[in-house]
Amino acid sequence: MRALRKGQAAIFNLTGDLHGEARIVERAFGMGPSALTEPVALLAQNFENREAAS
């Protein structure tokens, strides 16, 4: 994926690490979750953590 090497896919790397780049490649080839599934799961987890802390 040329965009990863050129830094153009950096905005899609949610975690900013090597695992995030692997997720981008998995999504591009249809091996991983869709682009919206993971952020929605992160938001749901964040809301659950906030409710648990209250």
Q: What is the pLDDT of residue 4?
A: 58
Burial of 4 (0-12, 13-18, 19+ CB in 10 A): middle
Whether 53 shows a pLDDT value over 70: the answer reads yes
Question: Amino acid letter at 43?
Answer: L
Whether 48 shows a pLDDT value over 80: the answer reads yes
Domain residues of the chain, as ranges? 2-53
Burial of 52 (0-12, 13-18, 19+ CB in 10 A): exposed
Q: Is residue 4 within 8 Å of residue 13, measured between CB atoms?
A: no
Q: Tell me what the mean pLDDT of segment 11-30 comes to.
A: 74
E strand or H helix at 43: helix 37-53
Structure tokens at 31: 């091996």
pTM exceeds 0.75 for this model: no
